[in-house]
Amino acid sequence: MEKLIITAAICGAEVTKKHNPNVPYTVEEMVREALSAYNAGASIIHLHVRYDDGTPTQDKERFREVIEAIKAKCPDVIIQPSTGGAVGMTAEERLQPVYLKPEMASLDCGTMNFGGDEIFVNTENMIIEFATKMNELGVKPELEVFDKGMIDTAIRLHKKGYIKAPMHFNFVMGVNGGISAEMRDFVFLKESIPPGSTFTATGIGRYEFPVATMSILAGGHVRVGFEDNVYLEKGVLAKSNGELVEKVVRIARELGREIATPDEARKILGLEVKP
């Protein structure tokens, strides 16, 4: 099997210090959490940013500040900004970090009911707009899918030339309104992507490590982090993103998967390896 790429989603847009006091808001806290994840074995940092009071933002300059600070400590890590932002943000707001020309960025492939009155809107035209801009700027999209129909959307837009191969998917499982995190559903998603594609799997909340284990066994890759889950185990808050990554590394080693370095991850994902 390929070496395992571990992505750390270090803060997200919704989780707060009320959920776990170690959730990062400031630039210094973001660097601390990215470094903890990187040192533990993460080769990709999936990045949302906040203002110092915890307010989520897609401001390009805030992203620039955080990315530069992380790169100063982890020069070879892959930074993957979110274009999901937070519920209610406009497409123009959400696209801002792409203009910094990161190696990768997330691209959500469908609209989701997140519970209550929250609707995460991603129309087909928005997906095309985001994909077109990423192509123009040389940014590889990570295709975030919350259900099987979103894979179908990505494949259809690939056939129309908007999304380039090889495609890299992120199966986000266990979200309200999306696909559950059962093994049956994981296999369904895995078997639905085109040959030659790669995938990461993300389990939300208590599903984080069961989904990680499924993906490790199936030859896929793994995302963990405070964005998705703030607990190391039931009732025990994680002290850092690094602790969550360390747990995945332990599981992977027990199951015979080696951990990819950032440059090894670049080769697996078809990104340019920096000299």
What is the pLDDT at residue 275?
64
Contact 137, 174 (CB under 8 A): no
Q: Please identify which residue in the block is written with the tokens 């490790």.
A: 216
For the question of whether the overall pTM of this predicted structure is more than 0.85, the answer is yes
Could you list the beta-strand ranges (E) of 121-268.
140-145, 168-173, 198-203, 221-224, 231-233, 236-237
Sign of CA dihedral 130, 131, 137, 141: positive
Q: Which residues have a Cβ under 8 Å from the Cβ of 18 and sit 6 or more positions away?
A: none
- CATH H-level superfamily of 6-269: Aldolase class I (3.20.20.70)
Token pair belonging to 1: 């099997």
Could you list the beta-strand ranges (E) of the chain.
6-9, 44-47, 49-50, 56-57, 78-81, 104-108, 112-115, 118-120, 140-145, 168-173, 198-203, 221-224, 231-233, 236-237
pLDDT over 70 at 5, yes or no: yes
pLDDT over 70 at 240, yes or no: yes
What CA–CA distance (Å, rounded) separates 123 from 83?
14
Chain mean pLDDT for the chain: 97
Paired sense of beta strands 168-173 and 198-203, if any: parallel
pLDDT over 80 at 274, yes or no: no
pLDDT, one tens digit per residue, over 79-112 is: 999 999 988 899 999 999 999 999 999 999 999 9
Name the nearest CA neighbour of 134 among 271, 32, 255, 227: 271
Q: What is the DSSP string of 66-109?
A: HHHHHHHHSTTPEEEE-S--STT--HHHHHGGGGG--SEEEEE-
Q: How far is CA 154 from CA 64, 143, 242, in A?
A: 29, 8, 32
Confidence class for position 116, pLDDT limits 50, 70, 90? confident
